Amino acid sequence: MTRDQARLHQTELWLGWIRLAAIPFAALHVSFGTQYPGDYELLAWLTAGTFALGATVIVVLARLELSPQAQRLLGASVLGFDTVFVSAFVLVHSFESGSPVRQLFFLVVIEAAVRYGLAAPVVLALATGPVLAVNEGLRSDRSGSDYQLDYVTFQVGVELVSGLIVGWLVDRLRGETLRAEARADEAEKLRDELGNRVDLVEAANRCARALGSSLDLRQAFDAFLRELRGLVPFDRVAIILGEGTAMRVIAAAGVGVEAVLPPGSTLPRGALVEQVISSGRTVYRRDMADRRHPEEEDLLAVDLRCRLVAPLLIGSRPTGMLSVLRHEPDSFSPDEVELVTLLGRLVGTAVQNIRAYEAEHQRVEELGRLSSLRADFVSLVSHELRSPMAAVIGASTTLQGRWRELSAEQRSSFLALISDETSRLSDLVGDVLDTSRIEAGTFGYAFREVSIGQLVRDTVAAASVAQDEVRVEGRVREPLPAVRGDAERLRQVLANLVENAVKYSTAGSVVRVEAAPDDGRICVRVSDDGPGIAPADQDVIFEKFGRAHGGQAKPGTGLGLFIARAIAEAHGGALGVESEPGRGAAFTLQLPL
């Protein structure tokens, strides 16, 4: 039952009880009336009895819960019943001169004002005029006095005034009531909305706290998913951050996560995240069937149609997006859109903290690794220095103390040993100095036209003369254009690659050095049949002090390949490796023409 229905129901019931209370007064008035002429007393009792019966029926009906139409019909019928009763009662008692019965019309007029406001009492007051006129005619005929028109006009006028006053008051009261109810409804809605907002913020805070519960991204994301699933059901969710010019998926879960945009993958140019970061606004893709962004093709392939994306904000700066997806098109409600938007604001800081921790953790690990490499380098250099120095000292001491006793051949052998070990010391010191110059940016180059073919042939010849256990083969595909570079630095690179290949090759095997043009570049490939390099070590060996792990490692400082790659990059080229354990290694030097 609406408020208007309840108000009408209460009014009807209240008037019904008043009507019942008026029955004894009507009976008393008939009982104590003056001498009735003719059948007037019978008519008076019939009128009072009809009123009593009608009042009782009206109270019974007023207690029922009627439909709005039935309730309005009952109200109009009751007002009509009261008007007929009062008119009949007034006419029955018209024989009484100076009777106040006619004033009962005021009650009907007031009832009309209470029911319908300002207009109804005016109509009803005017409608009582003919009844009052008949009543006055009957009274004047019965008493033999003159017809008093002012008895009619005066009462109708007073009824009009009374009805207007009461109707105005009723209309005003109803207006105030409606305004009060409207304000109460508004207050209730505001209270409910405030409660919903509080619940929304609390839910978003729970998700943000879950994401910030751990500095480990996997653990934090799992906790976040558990909270999010109970608030915004999803088929897939992802967190994407902008890293420089790249947009990278840092965490994802749900449908197709292993095959479509898995964690660590980079989104293509024109992806939705670019729009979100540039505008800083939530985007709701109700149906991705129109394929506005390149990544949506892959999402549609796993039957994801609906996508809600909110920016991750650090202060007012968007740094990425939170993406929530569902199979069904247009399946997010306005409350869910608002919640995901709020989550973007709260989650951004937690994600930033996790990323900062990961970066700091990686930095600490890198510093630890470099510290370990430095310690290894010191140990290696100490060993590399001690061995040739011990040999030089031993040989020179022997020569000094036993020069006359040694044959010419023995003297030459000791002097050759001193020369070789001194060269090893010189190379070691040279590598250390070159590394320092590269880091300081003072490593010098003298660029001119260089024949790579000639450098390859010279390097192969020198390696073949220096040892005879491993065969070194060179092949130059002519014509081979010249490059602009530093011939001595490039010779240093090739010599290092060939020396390493020979060092890691077994006796009787072959080291192949090939040079050929390739799409605007010259590629020099040095390959061997040695033990190969594990994938985990293929980046390490090009770092300063970096050395491959395992039983196949050879003595060395770990600086040669670092210097070689620096020289290659200074020439605008690159140095890389292809290798599998047990299948040898192939180093490729690429130089632009």
What are 262-311's pLDDT values in tens digits?
Answer: 988 888 888 888 888 888 889 999 999 888 898 888 899 899 999 999 88
CATH of span 217-351: 3.30.450.40
Q: pLDDT class for 507, splitting at 50, 70, 90?
A: confident
Whole-number percent of the chain with pLDDT over 70: 89
Token readout for 266 is 């980079």
Single pTM value for the model: 0.43
Residue 382: the pLDDT is 64
Tell me how far CA of residue 586 lies from CA of 82, 396, 521, 556, 560, in angstroms. Answer: 114, 41, 18, 19, 16
Tell me how far CA of residue 453 lies from CA of 457, 566, 590, in angstroms. Answer: 6, 21, 14
Residue 259: the pLDDT is 84
Interatomic CA distance for residues 197 and 308, integer angstroms: 20
Residue 514: the pLDDT is 92
Higher pLDDT, 19 or 211: 19
Least confident range from 106-110, 331-335, 383-387: namely 383-387
pLDDT digits (tens, 9 = 90+) for 133-150: 888 888 787 777 788 888
CATH of span 448-592: 3.30.565.10
Q: What is the mean pLDDT of the chain?
A: 82
Residue 374: the pLDDT is 66
Amino acid at 515: A
Q: For residue 364, is pLDDT > 60?
A: yes
Q: pLDDT class for 228, splitting at 50, 70, 90?
A: confident
* Mean pLDDT of the 52-62 span: 85
Interatomic CA distance for residues 460 and 511, integer angstroms: 9
Query: Which range scores top for mean pLDDT: 36-45, 102-111, 303-312?
Result: 303-312
DSSP annotation string for 123-180: HHHHHHHHHHHHHHHHHHHHH-----HHHHHHHHHHHHHHHHHHHHHHHHHHHHHHHH
Residue 226: the pLDDT is 76
* Mean pLDDT of the 509-527 span: 90
